[in-house]
Amino acid sequence: MAPRKLAAGNWKMNGTLASLAEIDRLLADHPAPGCDVLICPPATLVHAMAARAQGRIATGGQDCHARTSGAHTGDIAAAQLKDAGASHVILGHSERRTDHAETDAQVAAKAVAAHQAGLVAVICVGETEAQRDAGQTLDVISAQLAGSVPDGATAANTVIAYEPVWAIGTGRTPTNDQIAEVHALMRDRLAARFADGADFALLYGGSVKPGNAAEIFAIPHVNGALVGGASLKAEDFGPIIAALSAA
Ligand code: PGA
């Protein structure tokens, strides 16, 4: 099995019910994309989006709790996301790691919870600009992969997204060689640890736009993208889906 191609959108804390018109536009403009398409809206929209997308676009959460239920005000269990119609959940996004001080161990525990609930975990890793400048990128990615991806991960239940922190929302991207270097490292690490490590989908994320998508998708071991700002509007996300379909 080759890695599946995945165009994933992360709406972050953006969007209301009116925003679901973008789903209608994507479905109309891309009735049969040549890749999987996932959108992770705010939790308030998961149920309505899943109903609207009719399985043609997958719906995901942006975080889940490691426990199945209990006294955790404001948190959401993986099984609740699944119940609302989600099939995926983003875990360990750098904004969660920064805003909520999430550690690799917490991300791994959340991934276990996601797997137990039947969700695909989209686990994010990425270096800060200071770490890249200090020549630590490959060590940071290796450590995050080792710590954030649980032993039960498989190509069917886990997707890895490489998102350099300094490229998120900045309009800056690594060079193609820099992306290639990290993706090759991730492939090697996963293949060394998991029987089906060659088959995990590896996404690049950080300032992916219609104008740079095709070039990024041509890089070895890049199987798709995790897209923030450019996933909010069908007119931007549509061309990214088309570029991945053609890759
Ligand atoms: P961006 O965000 O595409 O707006 O840079 C990517 C992400 O944070 O997933």
Q: Which helix (H) or strand (E) holds 88?
A: strand 88-91
Q: Residue 1: pLDDT above 80?
A: no
Cβ–ligand 1 distance for 161 under 6 Å, the answer: no
Q: Which residue, among 63, 51, 44, 56, has the nearest Cα to 7 in the 3D structure?
A: 56
| Strands 36-40 vs 6-10: parallel, antiparallel or unpaired | parallel
Domains and CATH numbers, the chain: 1-12+35-49+58-172+187-206+219-228 (3.20.20.70)
Share of the chain above pLDDT 70, in %: 100
**pLDDT category of residue 90 using cuts at 50, 70 and 90:** very high
What's the chain's average pLDDT? 97
Q: Which residues are annotated as a binding site for substrate?
A: 10-12, 169, 207, 228-229
Q: Residue 43: pLDDT above 80?
A: yes
- Mark 134-168 as b/e (b = at least 16 C-beta within 10 Å): eeebeebbeebbebbbbeebebebbbbbbbbbbbb
The per-residue pLDDT for range 75-87, each reduced to its tens digit, is 999 999 999 999 9
What number is the average pLDDT over the span 138-167?
98
Catalytic residue annotation: 93, 163
| Residue of 95, 163, 212, 216 with the most ligand 1 atoms within 8 Å of its CB, for mutation | 163
Q: Report the nearest-CA residue for atom 1 of ligand 1.
A: 228
CA distance 238 to 241: 5
Q: Which residues are annotated as a binding site?
A: 10-12, 169, 207, 228-229
Q: What is the CA(70)–ligand 1 centre distance, in A?
A: 31
The per-residue pLDDT for range 92-103, each reduced to its tens digit, is 999 999 999 999
Model pTM score: 0.97
What number is the average pLDDT over the span 56-66?
97
Q: Residue 190: pLDDT above 90?
A: yes
Q: Which residue, among 244, 145, 241, 154, has the nearest Cα to 199 in the 3D structure?
A: 154
**pLDDT category of residue 174 using cuts at 50, 70 and 90:** very high
| Strands 201-205 vs 224-227: parallel, antiparallel or unpaired | parallel
The per-residue pLDDT for range 100-124, each reduced to its tens digit, is 999 999 999 999 999 999 999 999 9
Share of the chain above pLDDT 90, in %: 98
3: tokens are 């890695």
What number is the average pLDDT over the span 1-14?
95
Q: Indicate which atom in ligand 1 lies nearest the CA of residue 168.
A: 5
What number is the average pLDDT over the span 31-51?
96
**pLDDT category of residue 88 using cuts at 50, 70 and 90:** very high
According to the model, what pLDDT value does residue 83 have?
98
Q: Which residue, among 222, 218, 154, has the nearest Cα to 190 in the 3D structure?
A: 154
